Amino acid sequence: MSTTSNISHFTPRTTETIATPVVRNLQFSDLTDSLRMGWDDFKAIPTHAIMLVVIYPVLGLVLARLVLGYSVLPLLFPMAAGFALLGPFAALGLYELSRRRENGDDPTASHALSVLQSPSLGAMVALGAILMVLFAVWLACAQAIYIATFGYEAAASIPDFLGRIFSSPQGLTLIVVGCGVGFLFALIALCISAVSFPLMLDRHATAPEAMLASIKVVSQNPVTMAAWGAIVAALLVIGTLPFFLGLAVVIPVLGHATWHLYRKALEPAAAPYQPPPQRPHATRYAAEFPASLFSSWRRRDQ
């Protein structure tokens, strides 16, 4: 068996088999249409969507308790804002539900979990890890900004912390610098993940290809994508009230809407993805162990 055939078998796709995605020009109406279709998807499968994202309000409450318990109140808002960085990866199951509903299927919770069988799962996990690192660096920067502004003395209580922030020149500095740095992190996350995960799920692109396509979407539609980022940020802030429970609605709607925005941002693929044929696995028996071992070596040499 030739080396080329081995490579083609284990590689689910190549740049020669799938053309580079063609980016469309987006309008503000595309954003509203995406949100409307995302809301329709959520209404069609609300129970499944809430089950998929229940980790968000639970995680928010846990983080809030840890923050209060360990007197690190300055990290509460950065943690809540950081959900925007991790959301595109956490919404993988929602993309799958929207994809199947778009194809006329009747999605179930098990269909959402089918992303674990995707040939591009490794690429999606890799990009998710990048977003996790981005989230961790953002928290470290937020902590450093607070220490540079107020020093190492911890706030005694929530009223004390709010008083520092909103009634002192240092608090104004913290708000301006913190929001500015947070904007940069959000911009990076938007550029590399605006359509990356839907593209990997739908066309099984590699992580670099998906990030480049996402950057191209943002660079070709800067005003529209900036508005999309502002919409996402505003809805996430609303979703944190009360006690992060609103995220149980906001996250699935945004997840479904992101899938539809991906459809509007890129031209459809010329040919749908076809999974490669699976190699048959011959049955092996324990009694054949020595002979099968030498035969496998012989095939590898060939």
pLDDT at 298 over 90: no
Q: How many domains does the chain have?
A: 1
SS3 179: helix
Q: Is residue 251 part of a domain?
A: yes
Instruction: Give the DSSP letter string of 109-159.
Output: HHHHGGGGG-TTHHHHHHHHHHHHHHHHHHHHHHHHHHHHHH-SPPPSSHH
pLDDT in tens, 176-228: 999 999 999 999 999 999 999 999 999 999 999 999 999 999 999 999 999 99
Going by pLDDT thresholds of 50, 70 and 90, the confidence category of residue 105 is confident
Q: Is residue 302 part of a domain?
A: no
Among 14-18, 40-44, 89-93, 255-259, where is mean pLDDT lowest?
A: 14-18
Q: Is residue 211 part of a domain?
A: yes
Going by pLDDT thresholds of 50, 70 and 90, the confidence category of residue 296 is very low
Q: Is residue 149 part of a domain?
A: yes
Quickly count: other Cβ atoms within 10 Å of residue 81's Cβ.
22
pLDDT in tens, 144-186: 998 898 887 766 667 777 887 888 888 889 899 999 999 999 9
Task: Report the sign of the C-alpha dihedral through residues 127, 129, 135, 139, in that order.
Answer: negative
pLDDT in tens, 33-90: 999 999 999 988 876 556 555 655 566 556 666 555 555 677 777 877 777 888 899 8
Q: Is residue 267 part of a domain?
A: yes
pLDDT in tens, 106-123: 877 677 788 888 899 999
Q: Is residue 290 part of a domain?
A: no
The structure's pTM equals 0.77
Q: Is residue 90 part of a domain?
A: yes
Predicted pLDDT at 27: 96
Domain residue limits at 104 = 20-274
